[in-house]
Structures are given as C-alpha cells and as structure tokens.
Structure 1
Amino acid sequence: MRRINWWRVVLGGLAAGVLCNVSGITLAHFFMRAEVDAVMKRLNLTFGLDVALLHVSMRLALGLAAVWLYAAIRPRFGPGPRTACVAGIVLWLFTYCFALAGMWSYHIFASRLLLIAAVWGLAEVLLCALLGGGLYREA
C-alpha cells in the first residue's frame, strides 16, 4: 500500500476549503441572510471577526478532511469520482448531519431552513471532495 501524498492532500484540501468557504458564504449571506439575522437577534448573538475567522478555519479544515479521507480510502475503493463521493458522503454524515440534528433538537432554526442547509451541505461537500480528489495524486 502506498503512502499518502501529504503535499497533494494540502493542495487539494486548500482548494476544497476555498470552495467550501465560497459556498458557505453564499448560503448564509445571500440565500438565508434574513433567517440567519433573525436567529442571531433572537439569541442575542453577534457575528464579529472572531466568529468569521473560526468559520473560515473550520471550512478550510473540512476541505482538508475531505481530501485526507479520499486519500485514505483510495487504496480500497480505487481512484476517481466514486471514491470522492463516498468520502464526501461520509464527511457530510459526521459533520453536517450531527450539527444540524443538534440545531433541530434545540429548535434554533426552522426545520425548512435545516433541510435547505442539509441539502446544500451535501452538494457542497460532494463538490469539495470531487475537486480535492481530482487534485490528489499518489506519491
């Protein structure tokens, strides 16, 4: 079994993370802006630079995780888009689904908005895994 090419994990992960950030900003600030603002006001929360940096960092980490997972399962599943989609779905289940289920259980967002976020998140993670997986090459 070959070793993971960490340089390519970082390269693909950063590209995937940038795509993930663009997607997240698009969803939160353009499509769900009013709803997000209403929840922030209801919970008496503010969105400052510290929160923005945390979100950007988390989304970069998500991109890196997608490509690392792709590289880790590639020997078993083979290279290609199918393996990238498997990595994306697994990552989505362990990130988005858990987080959104928690928000749903506390009634932070309306169910409709959580469903939109879940579907958007699945598409987002799949595209990120496909991009990052496409850039990944074995050592």
Structure 2
Amino acid sequence: MARFTFRLPDIGEGIAEAEIVAWHVKVGDRIEEDQQVADMMTDKATVEMESPVSGVVVELAGEVGDQVAIGASLMVVETDAAVAEEAPAPAAPVAEAVEEQVEAETPGVPEVVEAPAPLPLAGGAGG
C-alpha cells in the first residue's frame, strides 16, 4: 500500500488559498476515484474537489471554515495500488509544448510575414 497526498490544485487565476466549505468524507472512509470529497470556496466560486485515487482516507487538511493554501495537502489517502506520492507535474508549460510541436511539424521553415498590399496610385489611369 502507498500513501497519496492530494494537494489543493490551482482552482482559479490569482487565487492563493481556498476555504473548506464542506467535507463529504471523514478519516477512515473508503473512497473511489472521482468521488466528491470536499467543497472549496474562493472569493470567486465554490468548487467541488474530487479524489484522483481510490483508497482509505487517513488525513484531512482541517475543519470546515479553515483556509488551505493552493498546493498544500488537502487529504492523504492510503491507496490499494502502488502509486506515486505526488501526482507528476507537467513536463513543460503548454506554450512551450505547442512551440515544440509546431517546430516538429515544420522543421527549418522560417516564419512567414506577409507584406502589406501596395496602395493604388492616386489619379487613376488617364491622360
């Protein structure tokens, strides 16, 4: 068995912490992957948190009304399978991944910048 620490994800741009509004589980409860475990409230919204793993709850971050920082432990679950202690972080930011994909699809092709169309001559054709 392994322990999985479920950390409070970034649930809104510029949000540093969220308040525990409700727990839907308690220590000792058996939970399933994607089961709703808590409701977290920011100054913008209330968000339902779902467990990323199945197992038995062994630790909760606090009581209703407590503040939890983004990235801090929200819940620890004793899992049945051997899973990593933490969920892996993305290897590269999305923008970098897109740039790499574009380069892979079009290697060595310079970026094309179109010149503005020439303006028509004043006065027209006459004589």
Which bin holds the TM-score, normalised by the shorter protein? under 0.3
Q: TM-score, normalised by structure 1?
A: 0.20
Q: Structure 2 length as normaliser, TM-score? A: 0.21
Higher relative contact order (CA 8 A, sep 6+): 1
